[in-house]
Amino acid sequence: MGTVVPICEPDWAKREGQYPKIVLFFFGTMLAQYRAMHHSFVLSSLALLTLAGCLEVQADPAPLPAADGGPVIPDTPTYECTEAIDSACPEEGQLPLPGAACLDGLECEVPTTSRGFEGGWRLACETGAWRYVERPTGVNPPHNEQPLPPAEICRDPFQGTRPDSRILIGPAGMDGFSQYEADERVRLTRGGQGAYMLEFRMDVPTGRDLNCLSIEASVTVAGRTAGEAIMQVETHCGRTRRMYLIVDPPECDNDAQESRDYPLTLHLHAPGIGQSTFPLILEHSPCEIG
């Protein structure tokens, strides 16, 4: 069904400003006097006005096509971070996420609360983001730096869906989040109980408003499944602290002791969000002791 719209205005109506009033009066009188007559009279009257050049029957406007000629796609919703910007140095035992928002120019020293380490954490807020400058050092063995705080466990993971989401994975560094490059070289770390671990961080750009995600993680080394885990981790503006996955390392074959390269694939799946697979290169000495 089209829409009847005026397309011109007579000169006398422009001068007097009476065109809308006269048109409305004309139609109201016509409909009142000829209500009982056949509707063809009304259509004939509209046709005469159309021929006079003052009305036009237009089709209802169609949605404008996208720039590439395809259908119009609504804008992707934005999910804003709701965490406050740090305006002061953190208190003891409350270390910030590397890369979290802060007041530019802050320089802080926070004492460690972990046994076996001495000194403290030195942090600086550079370009509005926290950066860890120095970590506490170990007492036994000496010169062993304290690991960054691990990802927190949460109990109420996200249960909905976020279309067109991506999961990004990067190293568990002292700066803000940065994504792994394809075939980037990584090394395993040793935990306090002697287990080998692959450390990393995760970022979900469409999850800036979320604070808890369920993650299914797996890693393969040289085509062999070397570690699997299901975890519920707390997120800060869509990003996690240092995550780790226990990895069964390549076996020692009593050959040369030097480090070797192994193809490693890290796969993460967040229900309702998506999944990502990252090919990396593991640099490892399979016959090292201790």
Task: List, for residues 199-229, the tens digit of each pLDDT value.
Answer: 999 999 989 999 999 999 999 999 999 999 9
Any domain includes 248: yes
Please name which of 191, 188, 179, 89 lies closest in space to residue 133, comparing C-alpha atoms: 89
pLDDT of the residue at 47: 39
pLDDT of the residue at 134: 94
Any domain includes 63: no
Residues 8 and 20 in one domain: yes
For 120, the enclosing helix (H) or strand (E) is strand 120-126
Residue 124 has pLDDT above 80, yes or no: yes
Any domain includes 165: yes
Q: With bands split at pLDDT 50, 70 and 90, how would you rate the model's confidence at 283? A: very high
**Cβ atoms of 145 and 225 closer than 8 Å:** no
Any domain includes 289: no
Residues 166 and 115 in one domain: no
- What are the b/e assignments for 253-275, b being 16+ CB within 10 Å? eeeeeeeeebebbbbbbbebbbe
**For 10-41, what is each residue's pLDDT tens digit?**
443 444 444 444 333 444 444 444 444 444 44
Residues 167 and 101 in one domain: no
Residues 103 and 174 in one domain: no
pLDDT of the residue at 250: 87
**Cβ atoms of 270 and 204 closer than 8 Å:** yes
Residue with tokens 């740090």: 86
**Residue 91: Cβ-neighbour burial (10 angstroms; 0-12, 13-18, 19+):** exposed
pLDDT of the residue at 118: 87
**pTM of the full structure:** 0.68
pLDDT of the residue at 86: 95
**Residue 217: Cβ-neighbour burial (10 angstroms; 0-12, 13-18, 19+):** buried
Cα–Cα–Cα angle for 138, 140, 141, rounded to 5 degrees: 80
Residues 139 and 157 in one domain: no
Retrieve residue 279's tokens: 């090919």
54-63, 73-82, 254-263: which has the minimum mean pLDDT? 54-63
Q: Domain tally for the chain?
A: 3
**For 143-164, what is each residue's pLDDT tens digit?**
688 999 999 999 999 999 988 8
Any domain includes 66: no
Q: With bands split at pLDDT 50, 70 and 90, how would you rate the model's confidence at 119? A: confident
Residues 127 and 184 in one domain: no
Residues 280 and 207 in one domain: yes
pLDDT of the residue at 289: 56
Mean pLDDT of 172-196: 91
pLDDT of the residue at 255: 60
pLDDT of the residue at 40: 44
Any domain includes 24: yes
Q: With bands split at pLDDT 50, 70 and 90, how would you rate the model's confidence at 77? A: low
Average pLDDT over the chain, rounded to whole? Answer: 77
Residues 161 and 278 in one domain: yes
Domain span at 208: 150-284
Residues 131 and 195 in one domain: no
Please name which of 213, 202, 200 lies closest in space to residue 244, comparing C-alpha atoms: 200
Alpha-carbon dihedral angle through residues 177, 179, 185, 186, given to the nearest 10 degrees: 50
Torsional sign, CA 237, 231, 175, 275: negative
**3-state class of 198 per DSSP?**
strand
Residues 157 and 279 in one domain: yes
Residue 274 has pLDDT above 50, yes or no: yes
